[in-house]
């Protein structure tokens, strides 16, 4: 299992100065976060890299991936991993990343500074990797308003749009991984994923802070697009909720 690093001494305090108390607490938590330290040591752009690596360690979502699409990619730590596992280069692009925020260039990654909800975004993403993706990643979250219910609904909408995009573009056997929020994945979305994938899993990796409401929805083994209405019902997908059984708590 991936572990936080032994690095700079933890428990450092930030002098108050002109900072608000809430800002000081956030900054202290950030600089004392072992995953933040490890990201710097290993050259990742954000601690989020370890969320993907921990999920992959257990569920093998990156294994054999040849083309990957990364939605809500900024600042780019998931794209860094994607480029490495696909052997993507600037001469042979196999990873496409999209975000409305600006991202610094990454070797082997085609970066689109564009809102994923733009009508032309799907076409540009597929064109960028030159073929069918084996994995669609989504770390998209709507800008927060401070109203919990509104924030939940807005991010769940992005998760749903990403899921339908994955079903439209993935090759058979492909996987979909997306950020969602605790508070319940909509039943209609879960039912859609169960129809189209062999296994659907809710997971909260150790690198996701315990106090955070985020979790991840993983759909494995895309069954392929349906060409018509079948008289025979497929076996229902296996559904697993790992949130209660995940015992790693370092770095949360």
179 is catalytic: yes
Q: Which residues in the chain land under pLDDT 50?
A: 1, 6-10, 12-14, 24, 26, 229-233, 245-252
Residue 228 lies in a domain: yes
Structural domain for 63, as ranges: 46-241
How many other CB atoms are there within 10 angstroms of residue 16's CB atom?
10
CA 94 to CA 110: how far, in whole Å? 8
CA 116 to CA 88: how far, in whole Å? 22
Residue range 43-60, pLDDT digits in tens: 999 999 999 999 999 999
Tokens of 155: 């991010």
Q: Where are the alpha helices (DSSP H) in 76-184?
A: 77-86, 121-129, 148-169
- Helix, strand or coil, per DSSP, at residue 239: strand
CA 216 to CA 139: how far, in whole Å? 9
Residue 198 lies in a domain: yes
Q: What pLDDT is recorded for position 18? A: 60
Residue 9 lies in a domain: no
Q: Which of 51, 179, 204, 220 is catalytic?
A: 179
Q: What angle do CA 171, 174, 177 make, to 5 degrees?
A: 130
CA 250 to CA 3: how far, in whole Å? 8
Residue 21 lies in a domain: no
Q: What pLDDT is recorded for position 223? A: 97
Residue range 208-231, pLDDT digits in tens: 877 777 889 999 999 998 755 443
In total, how many domains does the chain have?
Answer: 1
Residue 60 lies in a domain: yes
Residue 136 lies in a domain: yes
Please say whether the beta carbons of 242 and 200 come within 8 A. Answer: no
Residue 104 lies in a domain: yes
How many other CB atoms are there within 10 angstroms of residue 212's CB atom?
11
- Edge to edge, what strands does the sheet with 175-181 contain? 109-113, 95-99, 68-71, 135-138, 175-181, 214-222, 197-203, 238-241
What CATH number corresponds to the domain at position 129?
Answer: 3.40.50.150
Residue 51 lies in a domain: yes
Q: What pLDDT is recorded for position 242? A: 77
């Amino acid at each position: 299992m991936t572990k936080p690093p032994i690095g700079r001494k933890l428990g450092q305090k930030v002098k108050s100065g002109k900072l608000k108390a809430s800002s000081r607490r956030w900054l202290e938590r950030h600089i004392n976060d072992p995953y933040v330290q490890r990201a710097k040591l290993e050259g990742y752009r954000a601690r989020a890299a370890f969320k993907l690596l921990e999920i992959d360690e257990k569920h093998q979502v990156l294994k054999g991936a040849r083309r990957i699409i990364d939605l809500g990619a900024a600042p780019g730590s998931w794209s860094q991993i994607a480029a490495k596992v696909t052997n993507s280069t600037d001469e042979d692009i196999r990873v496409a990343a999209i975000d409305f925020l600006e991202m610094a260039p990454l070797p082997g990654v085609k970066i689109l500074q564009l809102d994923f909800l733009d009508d032309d975004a799907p076409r540009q993403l597929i064109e960028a990797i030159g073929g069918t993706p084996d994995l669609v990643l989504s770390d998209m979250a709507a800008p927060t308003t401070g109203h919990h219910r509104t924030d939940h609904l807005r991010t769940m909408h992005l998760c749903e749009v990403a899921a339908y995009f994955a079903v439209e573009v993935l090759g058979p056997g492909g996987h979909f991984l997306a950020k969602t929020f605790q508070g319940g994945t909509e039943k209609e979305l879960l039912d859609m994923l169960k129809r189209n994938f062999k296994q659907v899993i809710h997971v909260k990796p150790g690198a996701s802070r315990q106090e955070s409401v985020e979790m991840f929805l993983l759909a494995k083994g895309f069954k392929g697009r349906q060409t018509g209405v079948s008289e025979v019902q497929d076996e229902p997908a296996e559904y697993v909720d790992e949130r209660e059984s995940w015992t790693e708590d370092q770095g949360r």
